[in-house]
């Protein structure tokens, strides 16, 4: 939201918080499920994403027991889908504990480990890493909402 003075209003309440479960509309049909693991409050979110494809959304329970280790994708993304409520919040993780939803290390350029600060989601350090080890980490970058939708649609297949 922009004030009359043309400044971004950072005091507004976001429609999501850490531990929230949200639905990501897939490009063909149905939804993937995501969890807000961390957020910087300025538009960047660390999310864990899960299959299988959910249809219809109304059948999804309001709370679910999800395990971070079973995520099909983990990434940093812009919160536009959540803010515009195109990605509706559909519940909360039961017994939310941020320690169980860590900020993983990421891989950049095939051989650089990127470590993010868990509170601010800013880079705390980078270091060279063997390319074989780096391939095992999630890909670094800040993904837009549309890119996340396309990627999840591909991951969950037809």
| 117-150 tens-digit pLDDT | 999 999 999 999 999 999 999 999 999 999 999 9
The verdict on residue 135 lying in a domain is no
The verdict on residue 13 lying in a domain is no
The average confidence (pLDDT) of the chain is: 90
Q: What is the pTM of this model?
A: 0.89
The verdict on residue 61 lying in a domain is yes
Question: The domain containing residue 63 runs over which residues?
Answer: 20-101+141-156
The verdict on residue 68 lying in a domain is yes
Tokens for 98, please give them.
Answer: 């941020």
Separation CA 31–CA 33 (nearest Å): 7
Tokens for 69, please give them.
Answer: 């280790």
The verdict on residue 127 lying in a domain is no
Q: Please give the average per-residue pLDDT across 42-47, as a whole number.
A: 97
Separation CA 115–CA 80 (nearest Å): 24
Tokens for 76, please give them.
Answer: 């940093």
The verdict on residue 132 lying in a domain is no
Task: For 3-35, write each residue's pLDDT tens digit.
Answer: 444 444 555 689 999 999 999 999 999 999 999
Q: Nearest-CA neighbor of 144 among 76, 98, 42, 68?
A: 76
Number of separate domains in the chain: 1
Q: Please give the average per-residue pLDDT across 105-109, as a whole number.
A: 97
Give the 3-state DSSP-derived string for 69-114, with helices as H, strands as E and coil as C. Answer: HHCCEEEEEECHHHHCCCCCEEEEECCCCHHHCCCCCEEECCCEEE
The verdict on residue 107 lying in a domain is no
The verdict on residue 33 lying in a domain is yes
Region of poorest pLDDT, from 1-10, 42-51, 74-83, 112-121: 1-10
């Amino acid at each position: 939201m922009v004030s009359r003075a043309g400044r971004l209003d950072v005091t507004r309440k976001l429609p999501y918080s850490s531990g929230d479960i949200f639905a990501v509309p897939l490009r063909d049909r149905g939804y993937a499920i995501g969890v807000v693991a961390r957020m910087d409050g300025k538009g960047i979110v660390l999310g864990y994403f899960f299959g299988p494809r959910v249809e219809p959304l109304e059948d999804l329970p309001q709370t679910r027991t999800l395990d971070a280790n079973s995520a099909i994708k983990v990434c940093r993304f812009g919160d536009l889908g959540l803010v515009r409520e195109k990605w509706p919040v559909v519940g909360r993780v039961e017994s939310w504990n941020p320690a169980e939803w860590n900020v993983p290390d990421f891989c950049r350029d095939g051989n650089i480990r990127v470590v993010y600060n868990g509170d601010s989601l800013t880079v705390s350090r980078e270091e060279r890493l063997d390319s074989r080890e780096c391939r095992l980490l999630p890909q670094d970058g800040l993904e837009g909402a549309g890119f996340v939708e396309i990627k999840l649609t591909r991951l969950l297949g037809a």
